[in-house]
Amino acid sequence: MSYNKEFWDKYADENEKRYNEEFAKYTKDLATSLKCTSILEVGCGTGIDLRLFTDEYQIHGIDLNDNALDIAKKKLPSGNFKKGSITDLPFEDSSIDFVFTHQLLNYLDDDTLEKGVAEMYRVATKYIMNCEKFEKTEKQIDENHKFRNMHERWINYNVKIVSDVDMHEDIEPDKVRFTLLRKL
């Protein structure tokens, strides 16, 4: 996996403008309704999707960008933010109730994505959620990212597809596909 530090530093600096309270509320409400208390966002950036979780949750975020992690730690001091890769998540097997990504998987090459899916499955106890830009047949969006079909990526895993639908534009204006899986 190639990592473009300049691109991701700029992305982190601009991330606060991307804060979507509706999506953050949706994520918190979903995890709460599923009775999940430990939460991990893979590719957490500055932690904007985790900010509505209270101290009663164990909040974890993983990202490769030091700049983004510094911002996340300042904005959500109760969170456990670590530098790490989706291909080697620093958690025990079946240790996190709710593992999710939000427009991260679109930026990964196919090999990294496959390893990352395996890692998310490994650390998840109950649920995995992916919210990614979608096309049934994956294709390039631009030089940096690609449309994904996460339903297809999970077929060979021991999971139940709970939901695989486009998110409502009031919650996620970027028109991402919401894929929720129950680990069996």
Number of domain units in the chain: 1
User: What pLDDT, on the 0 to 100 scale, is given for residue 1?
Assistant: 58
pTM, two decimal places: 0.91
- Give the pLDDT confidence of 80-103 residue by residue, as tens digits: 999 999 999 999 999 999 999 999
- Give the pLDDT confidence of 11-43 residue by residue, as tens digits: 676 767 777 889 999 999 999 999 999 999 999
CATH number at residue 29: 3.40.50.150
**Start-to-end Cα distance in the chain:** 29
Confidence grade of residue 184 (pLDDT, cut at 50, 70, 90): very high
Structure tokens at 72: 């996340």
User: Range of 16's domain?
Assistant: 5-183
